[in-house]
Amino acid sequence: MWKNKNVWILLCGEFIVGLGLWLGIIGNLEFMQEKVPSDFLKSIILAIGLLAGIIVGPLAGKLTDQSNKKMVMLVSGFIRTASVIFMLIAIKTGSVWWMIAFLIFIQISAAFYFPALQAAIPLVVEEKDLLRMNGVYMNVSTLSRILGTAVAGIFLSIMSLSMVYIASFIAYFLLFVLTWFLTLDESKKEQKSSKTKESSSTSFNDIFPIIKGLPIVFMTLVLTLVPLLFIGGFNLMVINISELQDSSTIKSWIYTAEGVAFMLGAFVVKQISHKFSPYTILFFFSFIIGLSQVLLYFAQIPLLSVFAFALFGFAVGCFFPTTATIFQTKVPKDFHGRFFSFRNMLDRLIFQVVLLITGFLLDAVGLPYMTVIFGTFSLLMTTFFYMKFKKLNIASQVRDKIS
């Protein structure tokens, strides 16, 4: 796997774009803290961009299945790079509307890029290396997030906000150039299935019977709701904790602790995957995620708030590589573009709802009670679906014995 140049291009590309992305995210938070006083209004602004990604999702899925994945990644990379211009105008004019334009185009870019990337990974490595590749890829993404947030904090203290976005622009442009060197051989996939051309030209809705016919895929999709409840309002919670503790440095501690723990989790999951089934891993760490949310009731205590985010980071570090591997191996490759586009749309829809709920609850009841509500819901949902899974598993064993 490590001798494959495409693996290194994808990993280096993720590291570069991650730096640019987190420079932009920290810049967005800084800009909104100056221009938008309400948490609920902040959540609405962020949700507008996510809505744009949801709208183009079906088109992104079909194009990914029908078109060259490298070309889809290149076009989306160009849109991502050009979108930074809108944010530079927003800073110059002090207008939130230009920031909204930036968020719309950056999310449209992501709506195309993510399905193409996820569909490209199985074409780059063998199936036996997928879990390792997904784990390493997520570790690189997390490392870029840790460095990106740290660098953004340093940049904001020594240079203007505009220069932070120019650095982000440079990172996006480097990824665009690097993508040109990617080589994806999709001819093998076409030879393996005589139905490829037919399935690529059918409707986006064809993915739903596939999901319904694969219980393991459906159950995994449902379980991803638990970490998304936490991630959807992640940045708003970090801002709120910073204000609650009257400390700007706590942001860096939280992002760093969560990121390092995520990397550790992504390493550990490879070791435990030989001993436990994917569903044991998913249910256990889904429960841990719920506990980490409840712990944030004590968010006013610096040590406990950092520990809660570290616990969450470790849990999702084990959770997400497992779900990615299940999706890549269980869903037929001919439907990867549409499936990952659907998943991307689902994630964005949940993000949008969670953002709005988080903003509303932060204004209405405050951070401690909001995290207890989210944590309790996550724990109840995990327990419910675990019981349902056990019943399905027992029923399946009975049918096997009868047959």
- Report the alpha-carbon distance of residue 198 to residue 200 in Å, rounded: 6
Residues of the chain with CATH 1.20.1250.20: 1-183
Q: What's the pLDDT tens digit per position in 226-235?
A: 888 887 777 7
Q: Are 278 and 286 in contact (CB under 8 A)?
A: no
CATH of domain 1-183: 1.20.1250.20
Residue 198, pLDDT above cutoff 50:
no
Q: Are 315 and 375 in contact (CB under 8 A)?
A: no
- Report the alpha-carbon distance of residue 362 to residue 377 in Å, rounded: 17
Q: What's the pLDDT tens digit per position in 125-135?
A: 776 766 677 76
- The DSSP output letter for 322 is H
- Report the alpha-carbon distance of residue 394 to residue 400 in Å, rounded: 10
**Per-position DSSP letters for 345-364, written without gaps between them:** HHHHHHHHHHHHHHHHHHHH
Which class does domain 211-330+365-403 fall in?
A: mainly alpha
Q: What's the pLDDT tens digit per position in 282-334?
A: 889 999 999 999 999 998 888 999 999 999 999 988 888 888 777 777 777 67
**Section 75-82 average pLDDT:** 88
Stronger pLDDT, 176 or 122, i.e. the higher one: 176
Mean pLDDT of the chain: 78
Residue 402, pLDDT above cutoff 70:
no
Q: Output the 3-class SS for 77-129.
A: HHHHHHHHHHHHHHHHHCCHHHHHHHHHHHHHHHHHHHHHHHHHHHHHCCHHH
Residue 352, pLDDT above cutoff 80:
no
